[in-house]
Chains A and B, each alone.
Chain A
Amino acid sequence: MSMDRKFTIHRSPALANLERRLFLKRGLSLGALSLLAGCDITDQEGVQRLLNAMSRWNDGVQDWLFDPKRLAPEFPESRITRPFPFNAYYSESEVVEVDGSSYKLELAGMIREKKPWTLAELYTLPQVSQVTRHICVEGWSAIGKWSGVRFSDFLARIGADTTAKYVGFQCADDYYGSIDMATALHPQTQLSLRYADELLPPKYGYPMKLRIPTKLGFKNPKHIAAIFVTNEYPGGYWEDKGYNWYSGS
């Protein structure tokens, strides 16, 4: 199967919306029919409530399973997948163009130093690299090389309250997401500024993405515009549509 065929399963917002409605309307019907034959709509909602509760339960189990010292496997550069697939909730022609010269990373929430960061300032911070496997919630995986600032270093530098539960992200492409603090502090969680030793190209999230090799691909936000630290569950673009929030590897 060609890479194109495999990786063109992208969703426009309109399509995602439609899928969401189909999911609510038709998606449950097969399960509801097989499990609760003859029951009415409230039982379908009951099934959905049960599935949501199980997803929260699985968040807890994954949090418990997560070893903050366990590293994701790293690979030699010869194993890098070329071309590395593009993936987003929109198509590649709709990738947002961020102006690097006027870009400023905003900080909010439980952070001591909320001064916005320019790209030039971010580029001067100590940089690390990793060659790791990106695993998509759809099932496919690809190996890539990312370089940037270790996220735990950055959180320390800005005086983030690392006793808080969540780190949230707002992105220039209207994507949003959040992760648990333990994963934010994992040594391989990285504010990536480069892909394959080049400045992060627009399709991979210019000017900055968060690379988390211990979570599924959709937990790696691109085009990050703002970072905030909070104790209130921030949700996420796909999580609010039904994907499991923790989605750890």
Chain B
Amino acid sequence: MQSVLIHPLVVRVTHWINVLAVLIMITSGWSIYNASPLFPFEIPSQITLGGWLAGALQWHFAGMWLFALNGLVYLAYGIASGHLRRKLLPITPRAVLHDIREALRGHLAHDDLSVYNAAQRAAYVALIIALVVMVASGLAIWKPVQLYWLASLMGDYEGARLLHFFAMAAVFFIVLVHVTMVVLVPRTFPTMFTGRFRRTS
């Protein structure tokens, strides 16, 4: 039996910090959304953070530092070490569609946990992009005057606000699929703590 390191320490630590940070950002963000809903629905207050607008804003503007700094560490490590390129590339649309179809049929091509299938690669890349958009649109909402160039890329303040909402929805959806897949393939779960996976063949 051979033990293989599949999640380096930096990835494991930043993953769990990111879980906490995204939880804080999304639940406080929902509370902020409720102060002036963009759409004709509100988020149930039981699953929001902060109690009322001021508390939610305090969480959001404190959590953003944890979220952004942790994300920078992850991306810097992932790019410098080649981890992102090795794990997430290449991605071809044909392979992604094929693997999604297979997954929906119940054939999860994930026997070797050290290699991501195309659907996983696409999902993780989409998550990283959505989180980067989240930060960029959040900065544009926070500083539409000082960072006017960023806001103007997104259709000004109101455009950035919409984009921030849709990026949140994308993150929420991808996380939902991610957690569902972990439940379906539970042996992936301990690897995010130990970093190791025992190859049986």
Contact = CB atoms under 8 A, between A and B. Distances in A.
A26 B36 contact: no
Interface in A190-248: 213-214, 238, 241-244, 248
A136 B40 CA distance: 19
Contacts of B156: 73
Given A54-B61, A58-B61, A139-B161, A22 B146 contact: no
A67 B158 CA distance: 22
A248 B54 contact: no
Nearest to B63: A54
Interface residues of B, number: 35
Interface in B12-47: 20, 23-24, 27, 32-33, 35-40
Contact of B146 (A51, A70, A242): A70
A220 B27 CA distance: 29
Nearest to A238: B54
A71 B148 CA distance: 9
Contacts of A50: 62
B127 interface: no
Interface string A112-144: 000000000000000000000101111111000
Contacts of B161: 139
B19 to A, nearest CB: 11
Contacts of A137: 35, 53, 57
Given A34-B23, A54-B65, A139-B33, A242 B145 contact: no
Given A1-B40, A30-B27, A70-B148, A22 B58 contact: no
A25 B20 CA distance: 22
A138 B157 contact: no
Contact of B54 (A62, A133, A135, A241): A241
Interface of A: 1, 6, 9, 19, 22-23, 26-28, 30-31, 34-35, 50-52, 54-55, 58, 62, 65-67, 70-73, 133, 135-141, 213-214, 238, 241-244, 248-249
26 contacts: A1-B37, A1-B39, A23-B50, A27-B50, A27-B55, A31-B49, A35-B20, A51-B55, A51-B58, A54-B61, A54-B65, A55-B58, A65-B146, A70-B145, A73-B145, A73-B148, A137-B35, A137-B57, A138-B36, A139-B32, A139-B35, A139-B161, A141-B157, A141-B158, A213-B145, A243-B57
